[in-house]
Structure 1
Amino acid sequence: MNKQERNAMFALAKGWILEAGESIRKRLYDPLTIDTKSDANDLVTSMDKDTEYYFINNIKHVYPNHLIMSEEGYGDDVRTFDGTVWIIDPIDGTMNFVHQQRNFAISIGVYHNGVGEIGLIYDVIGDNLYSAKKGEGAFKNEFGLSRLSHDKSIYESILGMNHFWLCNNRFVHEKKMQELVRTVRGVRTYGSAAIEFAFVAEGVIDGYMAMRLSPWDIAAGIIIVDEAGGLTTTAFGDPIELLRGTSVLTCNPSIHKPIIHDYTRQGRK
Protein backbone atom coordinates (compact mmCIF):
# COMPACT_ATOMS: atom_id res chain seq x y z
CA MET A 1 0.00 0.00 0.00
CA ASN A 2 1.46 3.36 -0.97
CA LYS A 3 1.32 6.46 1.19
CA GLN A 4 -1.41 8.14 -0.85
CA GLU A 5 -3.69 5.11 -0.58
CA ARG A 6 -2.97 4.80 3.13
CA ASN A 7 -3.73 8.48 3.79
CA ALA A 8 -7.01 8.34 1.88
CA MET A 9 -8.09 5.20 3.72
CA PHE A 10 -7.06 6.69 7.07
CA ALA A 11 -9.14 9.83 6.46
CA LEU A 12 -12.24 7.76 5.70
CA ALA A 13 -11.73 5.40 8.64
CA LYS A 14 -11.16 8.31 11.02
CA GLY A 15 -14.37 10.00 9.89
CA TRP A 16 -16.35 6.78 10.26
CA ILE A 17 -15.04 5.94 13.73
CA LEU A 18 -15.75 9.44 15.05
CA GLU A 19 -19.25 9.40 13.56
CA ALA A 20 -19.94 5.97 15.05
CA GLY A 21 -18.75 7.18 18.44
CA GLU A 22 -21.01 10.22 18.29
CA SER A 23 -23.95 7.97 17.45
CA ILE A 24 -23.19 5.76 20.47
CA ARG A 25 -22.99 8.78 22.79
CA LYS A 26 -26.34 10.06 21.56
CA ARG A 27 -27.96 6.66 22.17
CA LEU A 28 -26.07 5.82 25.35
CA TYR A 29 -29.14 5.62 27.58
CA ASP A 30 -31.56 4.22 25.03
CA PRO A 31 -33.05 0.78 25.84
CA LEU A 32 -30.70 -2.03 24.76
CA THR A 33 -31.24 -5.58 23.65
CA ILE A 34 -28.57 -7.60 25.47
CA ASP A 35 -27.72 -11.20 24.56
CA THR A 36 -24.98 -13.62 25.56
CA LYS A 37 -22.60 -15.52 23.29
CA SER A 38 -20.13 -18.10 24.62
CA ASP A 39 -21.17 -17.68 28.26
CA ALA A 40 -23.11 -15.40 30.61
CA ASN A 41 -20.22 -12.90 30.77
CA ASP A 42 -19.74 -12.70 26.98
CA LEU A 43 -22.24 -10.00 26.12
CA VAL A 44 -23.42 -8.53 22.85
CA THR A 45 -25.87 -5.66 22.52
CA SER A 46 -27.95 -4.19 19.76
CA MET A 47 -25.48 -1.27 19.78
CA ASP A 48 -22.58 -3.63 18.98
CA LYS A 49 -24.49 -5.03 16.04
CA ASP A 50 -25.72 -1.66 14.74
CA THR A 51 -22.23 -0.17 14.95
CA GLU A 52 -20.60 -3.08 13.17
CA TYR A 53 -23.23 -2.97 10.42
CA TYR A 54 -22.51 0.75 9.96
CA PHE A 55 -18.83 0.02 9.32
CA ILE A 56 -19.54 -2.92 7.01
CA ASN A 57 -21.83 -0.81 4.84
CA ASN A 58 -19.37 2.08 4.57
CA ILE A 59 -16.32 -0.05 3.88
CA LYS A 60 -17.99 -2.28 1.29
CA HIS A 61 -19.46 0.75 -0.49
CA VAL A 62 -16.02 2.34 -0.99
CA TYR A 63 -13.84 -0.79 -1.05
CA PRO A 64 -15.96 -3.71 -2.31
CA ASN A 65 -12.92 -5.96 -2.77
CA HIS A 66 -11.58 -5.51 0.75
CA LEU A 67 -12.22 -8.22 3.32
CA ILE A 68 -13.61 -7.52 6.79
CA MET A 69 -13.00 -9.54 9.94
CA SER A 70 -15.43 -8.45 12.66
CA GLU A 71 -16.67 -9.65 16.01
CA GLU A 72 -20.42 -9.84 15.52
CA GLY A 73 -20.45 -11.85 12.31
CA TYR A 74 -21.40 -9.30 9.62
CA GLY A 75 -17.97 -9.49 7.98
CA ASP A 76 -16.31 -12.02 5.69
CA ASP A 77 -14.92 -15.49 6.33
CA VAL A 78 -11.31 -14.33 6.39
CA ARG A 79 -8.78 -17.14 5.97
CA THR A 80 -5.85 -15.23 4.57
CA PHE A 81 -4.31 -11.79 4.88
CA ASP A 82 -3.69 -11.47 1.16
CA GLY A 83 -4.93 -8.09 -0.06
CA THR A 84 -6.50 -5.58 2.34
CA VAL A 85 -8.28 -6.76 5.49
CA TRP A 86 -10.16 -4.55 7.95
CA ILE A 87 -10.38 -5.96 11.50
CA ILE A 88 -13.15 -4.33 13.53
CA ASP A 89 -14.46 -4.43 17.06
CA PRO A 90 -17.55 -2.19 17.19
CA ILE A 91 -17.52 -2.02 21.00
CA ASP A 92 -14.52 -3.43 22.82
CA GLY A 93 -15.48 -3.65 26.48
CA THR A 94 -19.16 -4.47 26.06
CA MET A 95 -19.55 -5.38 29.73
CA ASN A 96 -18.23 -1.93 30.68
CA PHE A 97 -20.60 -0.38 28.16
CA VAL A 98 -23.58 -2.20 29.68
CA HIS A 99 -22.71 -1.66 33.35
CA GLN A 100 -20.68 1.57 33.48
CA GLN A 101 -21.25 3.52 30.25
CA ARG A 102 -17.48 4.12 30.16
CA ASN A 103 -14.14 2.38 29.49
CA PHE A 104 -15.12 0.96 26.12
CA ALA A 105 -13.75 1.69 22.67
CA ILE A 106 -14.23 1.22 18.95
CA SER A 107 -11.25 -0.49 17.34
CA ILE A 108 -10.23 -0.64 13.65
CA GLY A 109 -7.06 -2.19 12.27
CA VAL A 110 -6.28 -2.24 8.55
CA TYR A 111 -3.76 -4.78 7.24
CA HIS A 112 -2.40 -5.11 3.70
CA ASN A 113 -0.77 -8.42 2.77
CA GLY A 114 -0.35 -9.10 6.47
CA VAL A 115 1.30 -5.76 7.30
CA GLY A 116 -0.41 -3.38 9.73
CA GLU A 117 -1.08 -0.12 7.89
CA ILE A 118 -3.66 1.77 9.98
CA GLY A 119 -4.72 1.50 13.61
CA LEU A 120 -7.55 3.45 15.25
CA ILE A 121 -8.85 3.10 18.81
CA TYR A 122 -11.57 5.52 19.88
CA ASP A 123 -12.31 5.97 23.58
CA VAL A 124 -15.91 6.97 23.01
CA ILE A 125 -16.74 8.56 26.37
CA GLY A 126 -13.35 10.23 26.80
CA ASP A 127 -13.54 11.45 23.17
CA ASN A 128 -9.91 10.43 22.68
CA LEU A 129 -8.77 8.97 19.38
CA TYR A 130 -5.55 6.94 19.38
CA SER A 131 -4.23 6.41 15.90
CA ALA A 132 -1.26 5.32 13.85
CA LYS A 133 -0.22 4.95 10.24
CA LYS A 134 2.65 2.66 9.32
CA GLY A 135 5.95 4.52 9.64
CA GLU A 136 4.40 7.79 10.83
CA GLY A 137 4.25 7.40 14.62
CA ALA A 138 1.38 7.13 17.06
CA PHE A 139 -1.00 9.87 18.14
CA LYS A 140 -3.58 10.68 20.80
CA ASN A 141 -5.99 13.03 19.06
CA GLU A 142 -3.67 15.45 17.22
CA PHE A 143 -0.73 15.09 19.60
CA GLY A 144 2.14 12.75 18.84
CA LEU A 145 2.97 10.14 21.47
CA SER A 146 6.59 10.06 22.57
CA ARG A 147 8.55 6.91 21.82
CA LEU A 148 8.52 4.60 24.83
CA SER A 149 11.63 4.73 27.01
CA HIS A 150 13.93 1.72 26.83
CA ASP A 151 15.24 2.02 30.39
CA LYS A 152 12.09 1.03 32.28
CA SER A 153 12.56 -1.38 35.17
CA ILE A 154 10.03 -4.13 35.79
CA TYR A 155 10.05 -3.12 39.46
CA GLU A 156 8.79 0.35 38.48
CA SER A 157 6.19 -0.89 36.02
CA ILE A 158 2.42 -0.91 36.09
CA LEU A 159 0.76 -3.76 34.20
CA GLY A 160 -2.72 -4.26 32.87
CA MET A 161 -3.89 -7.78 33.72
CA ASN A 162 -7.12 -9.68 34.14
CA HIS A 163 -7.46 -10.63 37.78
CA PHE A 164 -9.67 -13.63 36.98
CA TRP A 165 -6.91 -15.68 35.41
CA LEU A 166 -4.47 -14.80 38.19
CA CYS A 167 -6.35 -17.38 40.29
CA ASN A 168 -7.79 -19.64 37.56
CA ASN A 169 -5.35 -19.97 34.69
CA ARG A 170 -5.00 -22.96 32.38
CA PHE A 171 -2.06 -21.42 30.51
CA VAL A 172 0.39 -20.32 33.23
CA HIS A 173 0.80 -21.52 36.80
CA GLU A 174 -0.96 -19.14 39.15
CA LYS A 175 2.04 -18.92 41.48
CA LYS A 176 4.20 -17.46 38.70
CA MET A 177 1.55 -14.87 37.87
CA GLN A 178 1.15 -13.98 41.52
CA GLU A 179 4.93 -13.64 41.77
CA LEU A 180 4.84 -11.25 38.80
CA VAL A 181 2.14 -9.18 40.51
CA ARG A 182 4.27 -8.91 43.62
CA THR A 183 7.30 -7.88 41.54
CA VAL A 184 5.80 -5.00 39.56
CA ARG A 185 4.79 -1.68 41.10
CA GLY A 186 1.08 -2.17 40.45
CA VAL A 187 -1.61 -3.97 38.45
CA ARG A 188 -4.68 -2.43 36.82
CA THR A 189 -7.74 -3.83 35.07
CA TYR A 190 -9.72 -1.67 32.63
CA GLY A 191 -11.94 -4.29 30.98
CA SER A 192 -11.14 -3.30 27.39
CA ALA A 193 -8.12 -4.70 25.55
CA ALA A 194 -8.25 -1.84 23.05
CA ILE A 195 -8.05 0.79 25.79
CA GLU A 196 -5.24 -1.08 27.51
CA PHE A 197 -3.25 -1.21 24.26
CA ALA A 198 -3.83 2.53 23.86
CA PHE A 199 -2.64 3.14 27.42
CA VAL A 200 0.54 1.15 26.73
CA ALA A 201 1.22 3.32 23.68
CA GLU A 202 0.61 6.45 25.74
CA GLY A 203 2.73 5.22 28.67
CA VAL A 204 -0.17 5.27 31.15
CA ILE A 205 0.63 1.62 31.83
CA ASP A 206 3.86 -0.14 30.91
CA GLY A 207 2.42 -3.40 29.71
CA TYR A 208 -0.75 -5.41 29.21
CA MET A 209 -1.05 -9.20 29.25
CA ALA A 210 -3.99 -11.46 28.48
CA MET A 211 -4.22 -15.17 27.84
CA ARG A 212 -7.03 -15.35 25.32
CA LEU A 213 -7.94 -12.54 22.92
CA SER A 214 -9.48 -12.47 19.44
CA PRO A 215 -8.02 -10.68 16.41
CA TRP A 216 -10.46 -7.77 16.66
CA ASP A 217 -9.41 -7.16 20.27
CA ILE A 218 -5.79 -6.47 19.34
CA ALA A 219 -5.41 -5.69 15.62
CA ALA A 220 -5.49 -1.90 15.92
CA GLY A 221 -3.57 -1.86 19.19
CA ILE A 222 -0.63 -3.79 17.76
CA ILE A 223 -0.12 -1.12 15.10
CA ILE A 224 -0.44 1.78 17.54
CA VAL A 225 1.89 0.27 20.14
CA ASP A 226 4.44 -0.58 17.46
CA GLU A 227 4.42 3.00 16.17
CA ALA A 228 4.89 4.23 19.75
CA GLY A 229 8.01 2.09 20.10
CA GLY A 230 6.44 -0.78 22.01
CA LEU A 231 6.55 -4.51 21.41
CA THR A 232 3.73 -7.05 21.05
CA THR A 233 4.06 -10.85 21.08
CA THR A 234 2.18 -13.74 22.58
CA ALA A 235 2.49 -14.02 26.36
CA PHE A 236 5.29 -16.52 25.72
CA GLY A 237 7.28 -14.37 23.31
CA ASP A 238 6.13 -15.87 20.00
CA PRO A 239 4.90 -13.85 16.99
CA ILE A 240 1.20 -13.00 16.94
CA GLU A 241 -1.00 -14.86 14.44
CA LEU A 242 -4.05 -12.72 13.79
CA LEU A 243 -6.17 -15.38 12.12
CA ARG A 244 -6.96 -17.03 15.45
CA GLY A 245 -7.29 -16.33 19.15
CA THR A 246 -4.04 -15.84 21.01
CA SER A 247 -2.39 -14.82 24.23
CA VAL A 248 -0.86 -11.34 24.21
CA LEU A 249 1.88 -9.36 25.88
CA THR A 250 2.20 -5.78 24.68
CA CYS A 251 4.63 -3.60 26.57
CA ASN A 252 7.57 -1.28 26.86
CA PRO A 253 10.43 -3.21 25.20
CA SER A 254 12.64 -2.99 28.26
CA ILE A 255 10.30 -5.14 30.38
CA HIS A 256 9.40 -7.67 27.67
CA LYS A 257 12.36 -10.01 28.21
CA PRO A 258 12.10 -10.12 32.02
CA ILE A 259 8.38 -10.99 31.88
CA ILE A 260 8.85 -13.67 29.23
CA HIS A 261 11.98 -15.30 30.65
CA ASP A 262 11.27 -15.06 34.38
CA TYR A 263 7.50 -15.57 34.57
CA THR A 264 5.44 -16.76 31.60
CA ARG A 265 7.87 -19.26 30.04
CA GLN A 266 8.92 -20.65 33.40
CA GLY A 267 5.29 -20.96 34.46
CA ARG A 268 3.90 -22.33 31.22
CA LYS A 269 1.61 -25.31 31.75
Structure 2
Amino acid sequence: MNVEFRDTLFNQAKSWVLEAGANIRNKINDPYDIATKSNANDLVTTMDKETESFFITNIKASYPEHYILSEEGFGDHLTTLNGTVWIIDPIDGTMNFVHQKKNFAISVGIYHDGVGEIGIIYDVMADVLFYAKRNEGAYKNDVKLAPLNPNLKFEEVIFGLNHFWLCENRLVDEQRMQDFVRTIRGSRTYGSAALELAYVAEGVMDGYLSMSLAPWDVAAGIVIADEVGGITSDIDGNPVSMLDKSSVLTCNSTIQKRIINDYLQKGKK
Protein backbone atom coordinates (compact mmCIF):
# COMPACT_ATOMS: atom_id res chain seq x y z
CA MET A 1 0.00 0.00 0.00
CA ASN A 2 1.25 3.46 -0.91
CA VAL A 3 2.43 5.24 2.26
CA GLU A 4 0.72 8.51 1.38
CA PHE A 5 -2.60 6.75 0.78
CA ARG A 6 -2.14 4.78 4.00
CA ASP A 7 -1.75 8.03 5.92
CA THR A 8 -4.94 9.36 4.36
CA LEU A 9 -6.75 6.12 5.14
CA PHE A 10 -5.49 6.15 8.73
CA ASN A 11 -6.62 9.73 9.35
CA GLN A 12 -10.07 8.95 7.96
CA ALA A 13 -10.40 5.74 9.95
CA LYS A 14 -9.26 7.45 13.15
CA SER A 15 -11.81 10.21 12.64
CA TRP A 16 -14.64 7.68 12.19
CA VAL A 17 -13.53 5.69 15.24
CA LEU A 18 -13.55 8.78 17.45
CA GLU A 19 -16.93 9.86 16.07
CA ALA A 20 -18.42 6.43 16.66
CA GLY A 21 -16.98 6.38 20.18
CA ALA A 22 -18.48 9.76 21.00
CA ASN A 23 -21.87 8.52 19.81
CA ILE A 24 -21.63 5.48 22.09
CA ARG A 25 -20.69 7.62 25.10
CA ASN A 26 -23.59 9.96 24.41
CA LYS A 27 -26.02 7.04 24.31
CA ILE A 28 -24.46 4.80 26.96
CA ASN A 29 -27.43 5.16 29.31
CA ASP A 30 -30.14 5.07 26.64
CA PRO A 31 -32.33 1.97 26.45
CA TYR A 32 -31.28 -0.59 23.84
CA ASP A 33 -32.24 -4.10 22.80
CA ILE A 34 -30.05 -7.06 23.75
CA ALA A 35 -30.07 -10.35 21.84
CA THR A 36 -27.94 -13.50 21.86
CA LYS A 37 -26.11 -15.11 18.95
CA SER A 38 -24.24 -18.41 19.21
CA ASN A 39 -24.99 -18.90 22.92
CA ALA A 40 -26.45 -17.13 25.94
CA ASN A 41 -23.15 -15.37 26.65
CA ASP A 42 -22.63 -14.17 23.05
CA LEU A 43 -24.45 -10.85 23.19
CA VAL A 44 -25.31 -8.28 20.56
CA THR A 45 -27.08 -4.97 21.09
CA THR A 46 -28.67 -2.37 18.89
CA MET A 47 -25.60 -0.21 19.63
CA ASP A 48 -23.29 -2.88 18.13
CA LYS A 49 -25.43 -2.87 14.99
CA GLU A 50 -25.75 0.92 14.83
CA THR A 51 -21.99 1.39 15.19
CA GLU A 52 -21.17 -1.23 12.58
CA SER A 53 -23.69 0.30 10.18
CA PHE A 54 -22.01 3.68 10.68
CA PHE A 55 -18.67 2.27 9.55
CA ILE A 56 -20.14 0.30 6.65
CA THR A 57 -22.00 3.32 5.29
CA ASN A 58 -18.96 5.60 5.46
CA ILE A 59 -16.48 3.09 4.07
CA LYS A 60 -18.71 2.12 1.14
CA ALA A 61 -19.36 5.78 0.32
CA SER A 62 -15.69 6.82 0.51
CA TYR A 63 -13.92 3.65 -0.67
CA PRO A 64 -16.39 1.58 -2.70
CA GLU A 65 -13.59 -0.67 -3.97
CA HIS A 66 -12.66 -1.77 -0.43
CA TYR A 67 -14.00 -4.85 1.33
CA ILE A 68 -15.29 -5.23 4.88
CA LEU A 69 -15.22 -8.08 7.38
CA SER A 70 -17.34 -7.26 10.42
CA GLU A 71 -18.91 -9.02 13.35
CA GLU A 72 -22.57 -8.21 13.01
CA GLY A 73 -23.03 -9.32 9.41
CA PHE A 74 -23.27 -6.01 7.51
CA GLY A 75 -19.96 -6.52 5.72
CA ASP A 76 -18.87 -8.69 2.82
CA HIS A 77 -18.57 -12.48 2.67
CA LEU A 78 -14.91 -12.99 1.80
CA THR A 79 -12.83 -16.02 0.92
CA THR A 80 -9.56 -14.10 0.38
CA LEU A 81 -7.87 -10.98 1.73
CA ASN A 82 -7.00 -9.70 -1.72
CA GLY A 83 -7.31 -5.93 -2.05
CA THR A 84 -7.95 -3.61 0.88
CA VAL A 85 -10.03 -5.14 3.67
CA TRP A 86 -11.41 -3.37 6.75
CA ILE A 87 -11.83 -5.80 9.67
CA ILE A 88 -14.16 -4.26 12.21
CA ASP A 89 -15.53 -5.05 15.64
CA PRO A 90 -17.93 -2.20 16.48
CA ILE A 91 -17.97 -3.10 20.19
CA ASP A 92 -15.40 -5.62 21.33
CA GLY A 93 -16.49 -6.62 24.81
CA THR A 94 -20.26 -6.39 24.41
CA MET A 95 -20.83 -8.18 27.73
CA ASN A 96 -18.78 -5.48 29.45
CA PHE A 97 -20.73 -2.81 27.56
CA VAL A 98 -24.00 -4.28 28.82
CA HIS A 99 -23.02 -5.05 32.41
CA GLN A 100 -20.25 -2.57 33.24
CA LYS A 101 -20.61 0.29 30.75
CA LYS A 102 -16.81 0.27 30.43
CA ASN A 103 -13.92 -2.01 29.39
CA PHE A 104 -15.02 -2.32 25.76
CA ALA A 105 -13.46 -1.03 22.57
CA ILE A 106 -13.95 -0.21 18.92
CA SER A 107 -11.45 -2.24 16.90
CA VAL A 108 -10.54 -1.47 13.28
CA GLY A 109 -7.81 -3.27 11.36
CA ILE A 110 -7.06 -2.43 7.73
CA TYR A 111 -5.25 -5.10 5.70
CA HIS A 112 -3.97 -4.91 2.13
CA ASP A 113 -3.40 -8.16 0.24
CA GLY A 114 -3.29 -9.97 3.57
CA VAL A 115 -0.80 -7.62 5.26
CA GLY A 116 -1.86 -5.60 8.30
CA GLU A 117 -1.31 -1.93 7.44
CA ILE A 118 -3.33 -0.09 10.12
CA GLY A 119 -4.59 -1.02 13.56
CA ILE A 120 -6.83 1.17 15.74
CA ILE A 121 -8.27 0.20 19.14
CA TYR A 122 -10.33 2.76 21.01
CA ASP A 123 -11.19 2.30 24.69
CA VAL A 124 -14.39 4.28 24.38
CA MET A 125 -15.23 5.15 27.98
CA ALA A 126 -11.62 5.84 29.01
CA ASP A 127 -11.06 7.88 25.82
CA VAL A 128 -7.77 6.06 25.15
CA LEU A 129 -6.69 5.43 21.56
CA PHE A 130 -4.13 2.79 20.63
CA TYR A 131 -2.97 2.74 17.03
CA ALA A 132 -0.24 1.69 14.64
CA LYS A 133 0.74 1.90 11.00
CA ARG A 134 3.02 -0.81 9.64
CA ASN A 135 6.71 -0.02 10.18
CA GLU A 136 5.91 3.28 11.94
CA GLY A 137 5.62 2.15 15.56
CA ALA A 138 2.66 1.86 17.90
CA TYR A 139 1.09 4.63 19.96
CA LYS A 140 -1.19 5.26 22.92
CA ASN A 141 -2.83 8.68 22.71
CA ASP A 142 -0.02 9.90 20.43
CA VAL A 143 2.74 8.72 22.81
CA LYS A 144 4.97 6.13 21.15
CA LEU A 145 5.06 2.77 22.90
CA ALA A 146 8.40 1.24 23.81
CA PRO A 147 9.52 -2.13 22.41
CA LEU A 148 8.60 -5.15 24.50
CA ASN A 149 11.15 -6.23 27.08
CA PRO A 150 13.32 -8.97 25.52
CA ASN A 151 14.73 -10.09 28.88
CA LEU A 152 11.59 -11.33 30.58
CA LYS A 153 11.88 -14.09 33.12
CA PHE A 154 9.13 -16.60 32.49
CA GLU A 155 8.20 -16.80 36.15
CA GLU A 156 7.63 -13.02 36.28
CA VAL A 157 5.21 -12.57 33.38
CA ILE A 158 1.58 -11.49 33.66
CA PHE A 159 -0.66 -13.07 31.04
CA GLY A 160 -4.12 -12.29 29.72
CA LEU A 161 -6.09 -15.54 29.76
CA ASN A 162 -9.82 -16.24 29.86
CA HIS A 163 -10.30 -18.35 32.96
CA PHE A 164 -12.65 -20.61 31.00
CA TRP A 165 -9.55 -22.39 29.69
CA LEU A 166 -8.64 -23.39 33.25
CA CYS A 167 -11.89 -25.36 33.43
CA GLU A 168 -12.65 -28.64 31.68
CA ASN A 169 -12.92 -27.94 27.95
CA ARG A 170 -12.60 -29.70 24.61
CA LEU A 171 -9.59 -27.82 23.19
CA VAL A 172 -6.73 -27.90 25.68
CA ASP A 173 -5.75 -29.81 28.80
CA GLU A 174 -7.02 -27.69 31.67
CA GLN A 175 -4.40 -29.19 34.00
CA ARG A 176 -1.65 -27.90 31.71
CA MET A 177 -3.30 -24.48 31.73
CA GLN A 178 -3.53 -24.56 35.51
CA ASP A 179 0.17 -25.45 35.67
CA PHE A 180 0.92 -22.53 33.34
CA VAL A 181 -0.95 -20.10 35.61
CA ARG A 182 0.81 -21.46 38.70
CA THR A 183 4.20 -21.05 37.03
CA ILE A 184 3.86 -17.44 35.86
CA ARG A 185 3.48 -14.45 38.17
CA GLY A 186 -0.20 -13.83 37.43
CA SER A 187 -3.10 -13.95 35.01
CA ARG A 188 -5.73 -11.37 34.12
CA THR A 189 -8.94 -11.34 32.13
CA TYR A 190 -10.58 -8.13 30.89
CA GLY A 191 -13.31 -9.45 28.61
CA SER A 192 -12.12 -7.65 25.47
CA ALA A 193 -9.54 -9.30 23.22
CA ALA A 194 -8.80 -5.99 21.49
CA LEU A 195 -7.99 -4.24 24.75
CA GLU A 196 -5.94 -7.17 26.01
CA LEU A 197 -3.80 -7.10 22.87
CA ALA A 198 -3.39 -3.36 23.30
CA TYR A 199 -2.28 -3.93 26.90
CA VAL A 200 0.37 -6.37 25.67
CA ALA A 201 1.64 -3.72 23.25
CA GLU A 202 1.63 -1.17 26.07
CA GLY A 203 3.64 -3.53 28.26
CA VAL A 204 1.18 -3.73 31.15
CA MET A 205 0.68 -7.42 30.30
CA ASP A 206 3.35 -9.69 28.87
CA GLY A 207 1.10 -11.82 26.69
CA TYR A 208 -2.39 -12.86 25.74
CA LEU A 209 -3.81 -16.28 24.97
CA SER A 210 -7.22 -17.37 23.69
CA MET A 211 -8.31 -20.61 22.06
CA SER A 212 -11.05 -19.29 19.76
CA LEU A 213 -11.30 -15.78 18.37
CA ALA A 214 -12.70 -14.26 15.18
CA PRO A 215 -10.64 -12.02 12.87
CA TRP A 216 -12.40 -8.84 14.04
CA ASP A 217 -11.39 -9.60 17.63
CA VAL A 218 -7.68 -9.47 16.83
CA ALA A 219 -6.99 -7.83 13.46
CA ALA A 220 -6.17 -4.38 14.85
CA GLY A 221 -4.38 -5.70 17.92
CA ILE A 222 -2.03 -7.85 15.89
CA VAL A 223 -0.88 -4.81 13.87
CA ILE A 224 -0.31 -2.82 17.06
CA ALA A 225 1.52 -5.60 18.92
CA ASP A 226 3.70 -6.32 15.90
CA GLU A 227 5.03 -2.75 15.95
CA VAL A 228 6.53 -3.21 19.44
CA GLY A 229 8.09 -6.59 18.71
CA GLY A 230 5.19 -8.81 19.71
CA ILE A 231 4.86 -12.20 18.05
CA THR A 232 1.36 -13.45 17.23
CA SER A 233 0.52 -17.00 16.19
CA ASP A 234 -2.01 -19.73 16.79
CA ILE A 235 -1.21 -22.37 19.42
CA ASP A 236 0.70 -24.39 16.80
CA GLY A 237 2.97 -21.43 16.02
CA ASN A 238 1.31 -20.72 12.65
CA PRO A 239 0.01 -17.34 11.44
CA VAL A 240 -3.46 -16.41 12.68
CA SER A 241 -6.19 -16.66 10.06
CA MET A 242 -7.97 -13.43 9.18
CA LEU A 243 -10.80 -15.36 7.53
CA ASP A 244 -11.76 -17.92 10.18
CA LYS A 245 -11.82 -18.38 13.92
CA SER A 246 -8.42 -19.23 15.36
CA SER A 247 -6.52 -19.69 18.57
CA VAL A 248 -4.35 -16.66 19.34
CA LEU A 249 -1.10 -16.29 21.27
CA THR A 250 0.56 -12.87 21.42
CA CYS A 251 3.69 -12.30 23.47
CA ASN A 252 7.38 -11.61 23.42
CA SER A 253 9.32 -13.96 21.18
CA THR A 254 11.50 -15.04 24.11
CA ILE A 255 8.58 -16.81 25.82
CA GLN A 256 6.43 -17.80 22.84
CA LYS A 257 8.20 -21.09 22.10
CA ARG A 258 8.21 -22.18 25.73
CA ILE A 259 4.47 -21.59 26.07
CA ILE A 260 3.73 -23.51 22.87
CA ASN A 261 6.09 -26.40 23.58
CA ASP A 262 5.55 -26.83 27.31
CA TYR A 263 1.86 -26.02 27.73
CA LEU A 264 -0.07 -25.86 24.47
CA GLN A 265 1.26 -28.67 22.29
CA LYS A 266 1.52 -31.12 25.18
CA GLY A 267 -1.89 -30.06 26.38
CA LYS A 268 -3.84 -30.24 23.11
CA LYS A 269 -6.93 -32.44 23.01
Aligned partners of 1:96 and 1:104 also within 8 Å: yes
Using the TM superposition, give the Cα deviation of residue 235 of structure 1 relative to its aligned residue in structure 2, in angstroms.
Answer: 2.1
Listed as ranges, the gaps of 5+ residues in structure 1 are: none
Residues 68-217 of structure 1: matches in 2 within 5 Å? Answer: 68-217=68-217
- Describe the superposition over 1:176-219 as per-residue Cα deviations: whole angstroms up to 9, x where unpaired: 00000000000001000000000000001000100000000000
Residue in 2 that maps onto 1:31: 31
Residue 248, structure 1, aligned to residue 248, structure 2: yes
Aligned partners of 1:157 and 1:185 also within 8 Å: yes
- Describe the superposition over 1:219-262 as per-residue Cα deviations: whole angstroms up to 9, x where unpaired: 00000000111110002312111110000001122211111111
Using the TM superposition, give the Cα deviation of residue 168 of structure 1 relative to its aligned residue in structure 2, in angstroms.
Answer: 2.4
Distance 1:127 1:85 in 2: 26
Aligned partners of 1:153 and 1:254 also within 8 Å: no
- Describe the superposition over 1:82-134 as per-residue Cα deviations: whole angstroms up to 9, x where unpaired: 10000000000000000000100000000000000000000001100000001
Distance 1:24 1:237 in 2: 37
Compute the RMSD of aligned alpha carbons.
Answer: 0.7
Distance 1:40 1:111 in 2: 32
- Describe the superposition over 1:48-78 as per-residue Cα deviations: whole angstroms up to 9, x where unpaired: 0000000001111110010000000000111
One-letter amino acid of the structure 1 residue matched with residue 199 of structure 2: F
Distance 1:244 1:168 in 2: 24
Distance 1:253 1:125 in 2: 32
SS at match of 2:223: helix
Distance 1:166 1:74 in 2: 34
Distance 1:108 1:118 in 2: 8
Distance 1:254 1:200 in 2: 14
Aligned partners of 1:44 and 1:94 also within 8 Å: yes
Distance 1:196 1:131 in 2: 14
Using the TM superposition, give the Cα deviation of residue 169 of structure 1 relative to its aligned residue in structure 2, in angstroms.
Answer: 2.1
Q: Which 4+ runs in 1 deviate beyond 2 A?
A: none
Using the TM superposition, give the Cα deviation of residue 166 of structure 1 relative to its aligned residue in structure 2, in angstroms.
Answer: 1.1
Task: Tell me the TM-score normalized by structure 2.
Answer: 0.99
SS at match of 1:218: helix
Using the TM superposition, give the Cα deviation of residue 19 of structure 1 relative to its aligned residue in structure 2, in angstroms.
Answer: 0.5
Aligned partners of 1:161 and 1:210 also within 8 Å: yes
Task: Tell me the TM-score normalized by structure 1.
Answer: 0.99
Percent identity between the aligned chains?
60
One-letter amino acid of the structure 2 residue matched with residue 46 of structure 1: T
